[in-house]
Structure 1
């Protein structure tokens, strides 16, 4: 069932990306030089428009993931502390059970 749902989601996305790529095949020049000397920038790349847009979207997803990872750092730290505290309590309870089980009845 999960495999079918993946197929239902992935196939339309793939078709949309292919249609987008076929419709936007013209080359564009992307320049990373804000102050070009003359008409020729120091660093420029000519790529198809769909490649530029898809790479930009991928970069945005990665940047967003990194930002969320940093923002959730305090939650991960609190979870580690809580897990360590629960492990200590579990070990203490187990040690108490062993002591009570080993003690002779009065």
Structure 2
């Protein structure tokens, strides 16, 4: 179901991106200086589609980084829990080994018990 949904949504999005890229090939000036129009301190001339793609990639990087940072407490908690599980498993194994060494094996008998009422 997910694969079909991704195809249904992915094909129109891909076509839209291709149409935007083909229609916006002329260069635009991207400037970070709102006061100096003729000689900004930083400006880049690039096609509009490249600016849009760069903006999307930058947004994904910023969003992914912020999600990764905000989930740090859960990764730390999981790491601590894994360490605790390993410690408890080693204690269990040690306890089982000590128990097996201390108790002698119980001999098995193959005798049938005597009947309660004589026949």
TM-score higher than 0.5: yes
Instruction: Give the whole-Å Cα distance in 1 for the aligned partners of 2:72 and 2:78.
Output: 10
Greater Rg by CA: 2
For residues 34 and 83 of structure 1, the distance between their equivalents in structure 2, rounded to whole angstroms, comes to 52
Structure 2: give runs of 5+ residues left out of the alignment: 106-119
Partner of 1:32: 32
Displacement of 1:101: 1.4
TM-score w.r.t. length of structure 1: 0.81
Structure 2 Cα separation of the partners of residues 51 and 34 of structure 1: 21
In the TM superposition, what is the alpha-carbon distance from 1:11 to its structure 2 partner? 4.9
Q: Distance in 1 between matches of 2:96 and 2:35?
A: 74
**Aligned residue runs from structure 1 range 1-106, under 5 A:** 8=7, 11-36=11-36, 39-105=38-104
Q: Which has the higher contact order (CA 8 A, sep 6+)?
A: 1
Give the aligned length: 104
Q: Normalising by the residue count of structure 2, what TM-score does the alignment of the two structures yield?
A: 0.73
